[in-house]
Amino acid sequence: MKPRFVILFALLVVPALVVLGCGNDTTFSPDTTPPLAPVLQGANMDAGMVAVWWQPNAEPDLNGYYLYVETDGVATLANTRPITTAYSVVQVQGPAVRVYVTAVDISGNESSPSASARPTLVEDAKVHSGQNDLTGF
């Protein structure tokens, strides 16, 4: 190669590659798509404890679920961290009027709420979870 060609190449082509790039798109697109709303399967209540169970979501980036308990017309988040199972037992103050669940992914996107349910009052110390009987709260 002639030295002039190398210099010309270095002065024209290399800066063009730096400005225009090499064809690889390295832009980052944040995840803004929330998971699907969970399908609530049931809720029971006994002695101030509410058990809620739902169909697990299948999204690969699922982080867990938030459980909301509505009492006196006000919905409150029952857990501070996402629940990683498809059921939960929580203590409530007063009668739980309705409960619902949302799913959250690892980017923090929260789904729409599941259908809400009024917990069924059960008469003994067992609150059915759909998978296990949870005793000894």
The Cα–Cα gap between 27 and 120 comes to 50
The Cα–Cα gap between 33 and 135 comes to 37
What is the structure's pLDDT at 1? 54
What is the structure's pLDDT at 87? 94
Q: Which residues of the chain have pLDDT under 70?
A: 1-25, 95-96, 124-137
What is the structure's pLDDT at 5? 56
What's the gap between Cα 77 and its chain centre? Answer: 13
Ordered by start, the domain boundaries in the chain are 39-121
Average pLDDT over the chain, rounded to an integer: 81
Q: SS3 breakdown of the chain: % helix, strand, coil, rounded to 5?
A: 15, 35, 50
Query: 58 with 21: CB under 8 angstroms?
Result: no
The CATH topology of domain 39-121 is Immunoglobulin-like (2.60.40)
What is the structure's pLDDT at 4? 62
What is the structure's pLDDT at 22? 54
